[in-house]
Structure 1
Amino acid sequence: MADQSSVRSRGMELLIAYHHNPSIQIRNQIVRLNVGLVRKIAHRVSHQCAEPYEDLEQIGYLGLIRAIERFDPTQGCAFSSFAVPYIRGEMLHFLRDKASTVRIPRRWRELQAQGQKVRESLTVSLGRPPKDLEIAQALDVSLSEWRESKLAHQNRTPLSLDATVAHQVDSTVTLGDTLLDTHYQTLQSLEEERQQLQGALNNLEEKTRWAIESVFFQEIPRKEVAQQIGVSPMTVTRRIKRGLGELMTLLKPSLAQVES
């Protein structure tokens, strides 16, 4: 336990140093300290897809570096909680991008269009759906060429998100599992906003900050807050109004970045 505490303390020291003076040397030290986190997530994701663990691990380090670049150690958030959405998100981006669209040769596209018309005509004349051989003969092509064109067309047809794309010993992976995880994206965005807000609150006068947190975060009535700090409810209202104005000023750079 003492060793883990020491590692966390060292990690935060490096994150603070990097925040004030970014350098590749410090960043690489932070990466080495968080190798276990990347490997843990890579193992978890690798059990849900067909991609090699080693590839996912390498991609995960890109997400870790992104997290290091964007982490603000002054906001009081654990780095591991902040980094997980970046690491996992990078892996899911990688899996999504590998699912490229199949390009079908023009010859096969034309064959499919003709085959559809032949299928409809034969269905009427035969009174049943035609077999592949019958369609191939009507098109004057080999059975193998017709089947190859048909298979290519099927592979190009959009799949359901529930379609299975990989099988594991005890589970299956659907197409939806390989897409970008919007839940983690949302958590990541909310965590960044929480850090920005907490940083702005920390710059307020202590009683003003306490009044805002009590009323808006803890939902304590203003009258009760006034009694606790020994002022009138009107004074609490004025403190909150002034504090909110200061918060808007402090958060303007962040808001401008979001809007741009």
Structure 2
Amino acid sequence: MTATTTERTAERTVDVPEIADPATVAPQDARELSKVFFDQLAVLEEGTPEYQYARNTLIEMNMSLVRYAAGRFRSRGADEMEDIVQVGMIGLIKAIDRFELSRGAEFTSFAVPYIVGEIKRFFRDTTWAVHVPRRLQEARVQLARANEELRSRLGRKPTTKELSELMCLPEHEVVEAQLASNGYNSASLDAAISGSEDGEAVLQDFIGNEDAALELVEDFHALAPLIAGLEERDRKIIHWRFVEELSQAEIGARLGISQMQVSRLIRRLLGRLRAGMSTTEA
């Protein structure tokens, strides 16, 4: 840290630490510094240089989370990794804009599902962009397994002839399968993924786990009548902020009030909804 920029708000004075190169901050340091910057975002006015600096610093400091999440999909190929990282950044930005330090959760635990979700959505939206015959889809899976096995055995990229012999297919069908892979990149479920916290893992370790988001279904059912019971203006504020993802400043412009007033209204509404949820669960 080299300097401190100070902004005085209606509520208190906010000190904004300045970091020379946020992208170089170590992950363990970024975790603690992020708490400081999130605390500042809660009181800084959206659209101000101080607010933008704090938000941009959070994005750069936490890029390691995107690289970590993207690493799970490393076996899809180097050519696609750049796209995966870019999509993951979208998830990181959404997580930063929606995170509330007051809820007591760790930002890393909050952000990773957003990042992985954006990456999976990217795969869902781009899978088989070009129609490929089923026999070639199946051959592509077989080809991925054969490539993985021969690379491990030979220590180099296998030739078409070597793949043909292992797959028991004519060489021209192997070539067709390689062309089909341009429509969808895949890897063997047994493909090794290095760099995991528990040592070496394989791709299938990350498949078939229970989706924690399913637990939100009951919450949504409980939340719906609570939102329906709000006044019309309050429902609009919730919709604008969390569905249309408008900034507090944009909401304030629509209502003819200040950004700080919008911030207080949102905090009050969320408090009411949380209290209602707690009563429902009890």
TM-score scaled by length of structure 2: 0.40
TM-score (norm 1): 0.43
Instruction: Point out the structure with max Rg over C-alpha.
Output: 1
**Which structure is higher in helix share?**
1
